Amino acid sequence: MSCIMVDVESDGPIPGDFSLVCFAAVVVREGLADTFYGRLRPISERWDSEALAVSGFTREQTLGFDDPAAVMREFAAWVAAKSRGRPIFVSDNNGYDWSFVNWYFHHFTGANPFGFSSMNLGSLYKGAVRDTFQSFKHLRRTAHTHHPVDNARGNAEAMLEFCRTLDVKIRLE
C-alpha cells in the first residue's frame, strides 16, 4: 500500500456547485520525491471570493487553467504509476479534500483509484499519541502556505516524523 498525502484548494464549500481550483499529492515515503500538482479550470459559474482568495488566484486566472477531465486522467495515471499496491488517500482535512477529489474522479473519469475511503492525518496522530487534544502540525518542516504542494509536503513530513518517532506501524512504501 502507498499513502498519498493530498491537499486541495477550491472556490467554495462543496464540489459540483463550486470548483476545485488546484490540488497536490505527495507519496509518503522517505525523500518525498514523488509529487503531483494540478490546476483546474472552473466547472461552475458560482464561486465564493473569500474561498478563492485562499488559493492566491483570481477568478480570471482560474479561467485559464487546465481542463478538469485531463487533469484528473493525469492524476489517476500518476497514482497508478507511483503507488505500490493499494493507494491510500491521506489528508489533514479529509472530509473536505476527499469530497472534491472523489467527486472530480467520479465525474470526470468514472472511478476513484483510492476506492471509497480516506484517512485523516490529525485523527491518526491523535490515536498514536492517545490524546484527542493533540495536533501533529508542529511536526511540519515545510510552511503551511495554502499552496497545495507546500501543504501536502508539510503534512507528509509530519506523518513520516511521527510514524518514525512513535513507532507507528504503517507500511510507508
Contact residues for 82 (Cβ-Cβ < 8 A; gap 6+): 2, 4, 27, 34, 36
pTM, rounded to two decimals: 0.94
Identify the CA nearest to 72 among candidates 46, 94, 96, 43.
43
The dihedral region occupied by 153, where left means phi > 0, alpha psi between -120 and 50, and beta the remainder, is alpha
| AA letter at 135 | S
How does DSSP classify residue 170? -
User: Which cell numbers in the block locate residue 172?
Assistant: 510507508
Going along the chain from its start, the domains and CATH numbers come out as 2-165 (3.30.420.10)
User: Which cell numbers in the block locate residue 167?
Assistant: 513507532
Rounded Cα distance between 64 and 43, Å, is 12
Note down pLDDT in tens along the chain; length 173 residues.
Answer: 799 999 999 999 999 999 999 999 999 998 999 999 999 999 999 999 999 999 999 999 999 999 999 999 999 999 999 998 889 999 999 999 999 999 999 999 999 999 999 999 999 999 989 999 999 999 999 999 999 999 999 999 999 998 888 776 666 55
